[in-house]
Amino acid sequence: MERLKVVLGARSYPISIGFDIIQEDNIFWPLKPGNLAMLVTNKTLANLLKDRVLFHLRKSGIKIDQIILSDGEQYKTLNEMELILSALLEKQHGRDTTLIALGGGVIGDLAGFAASIYQRGVRFIQIPTTLLSQVDAAVGGKTGVNHLLGKNMIGSFWQPSSVIIDIHFLKSLPYNELISGMAEVIKYAIILDQQFFCWLEDNLKEILLLDHQAMSYCIKKCCALKSQLISLDEREKNLRALLNLGHTYGHAIEVHAGYGNWLHGEAVSVGIVMAARTSELLGYLKKSDFRRILTLLKRIGLPVKGPKNMSAASYIPYMMRDKKVISGEIRLVLPVSIGKAKIYNNVDKNIILSAIKYSQ
């Protein structure tokens, strides 16, 4: 087992990474014997992993209740979050309770948001079970739900007390979900680490076969890169916004297609291509770097073209609702080379539309 730390003063917390670590002593820190907690998971994981996690929680002396939600991005709503809050009230959980999120990004976001507002804030622990949540969603304290008009528009920053990444859980993951998570992995390499991008080009086969050594390195690298950015910019005033590479375009696809019809990583993959093409058209990104990005996404099996029934012009209204928009101007995260990205304001809408048309 390896440990990283997200350094945020009094809100600092550990990230534990390893295989089968759910059975380690004191893995559920800061919970202690006799503490009360609520496990939040979904119907799919209730059949796959829930009982194993409950066994180890009870073995650790933790009093545990549970709530099982519907599975899917279309259920990341205020209605589902209210089910969590109702369960906490019905079971008489006080301010000393801890929510435990067992699932992917949807469960983590729902449980984290509920923890941030239940009795004005209680602890929560992330146990991410998808690659996307292990490398990205579970770390950093972004919580929230979707709205019909925009993704993740209702939420809060609320850091977990700890993150437990058991890589063994990825064995239960459908292959398309594994592929989806790789979009976020590639995102880190493009914006922050050229050597990591080269490593991904060389080790792709091992990662997709869930090779222990390769997957452990990959997840640890992504968590370390994200932890550094969060420690510098917890609430996304500047640097942390780089983590949104591809998301402004990708969220437009998710909302337009209807939540759940495109996996988040699939939409982000297309968004990365659009952002890279925008940068190439502006003269920032070399054609050879654009080709390498496109090739790596294709090798993984990620989509590089958006929905056929979505016109280029229809992206713009969704992009205008993006959380990075300031004073009515779209701000875009664009790669300027492999390993470096910048945030740009006032990008010509005709160039944005041309980049979108390239991926139609």
Q: Binding site: what residues are annotated? A: 71-76, 105-109, 129-130, 142, 151, 184, 247, 264
Q: What share of the chain is helix, strand, coil (3-state, %, to 5)?
A: 50, 20, 30
345 is catalytic: no
Distance from C-alpha of 162 to C-alpha of 1, rounded to nearest angstrom = 14
226 is catalytic: yes
Candidate list 50, 123, 221, 226, residue with the active-site label: 226
Query: Smallest Cα–Cα separation from 56: which of 37, 31, 28?
Result: 28
Which residues contribute to the annotated binding site for Zn(2+)? 184, 247, 264
Vertex 356, ends 254 and 153: CA angle to 5°?
A: 30
Residue with tokens 């539309």: 353
236 is catalytic: yes
35 is catalytic: no
Using only the alpha carbons of the chain, give its radius of gyration: 20
Candidate list 50, 123, 142, 256, residue with the active-site label: 142
Question: Is residue 89 within a helix (H) or strand (E), and if so which, with residue range?
Answer: helix 78-90
- State the amino acid at position 2 in one-letter form: E
Candidate list 184, 254, 266, 280, residue with the active-site label: 184
In degrees and rounded to multiples of 5, residue 164 shows phi and psi of -115, 110
Structure tokens at 131: 């690659």
CB distance 179 to 300 below 8 Å: yes
120 is catalytic: yes
CB distance 268 to 246 below 8 Å: yes
**Which residues is 97 bridged to in the sheet?**
none
Burial of 316 (0-12, 13-18, 19+ CB in 10 A): middle
201 is catalytic: no
82 is catalytic: no
Q: How many angstroms separate the most distant Cα atoms in the chain?
A: 61
205 is catalytic: no
Residues with Cβ within 8 Å of residue 86, at least 6 apart in sequence: none
Candidate list 93, 123, 221, 264, residue with the active-site label: 264
CB distance 17 to 165 below 8 Å: yes
Candidate list 244, 266, 280, 331, residue with the active-site label: 244
Query: Smallest Cα–Cα separation from 229: which of 290, 168, 188?
Result: 188
Which residues contribute to the annotated binding site for NAD(+)? 71-76, 105-109, 129-130, 142, 151
Candidate list 187, 220, 221, 251, residue with the active-site label: 251
Residue with tokens 């990583």: 265
State the sign of the Cα–Cα–Cα–Cα dihedral 319, 320, 324, 325: positive
Candidate list 50, 93, 247, 277, residue with the active-site label: 247
Candidate list 120, 237, 287, 308, residue with the active-site label: 120
- What are the residue numbers of the active site? 120, 142, 184, 226, 236, 240, 244, 247, 251, 264
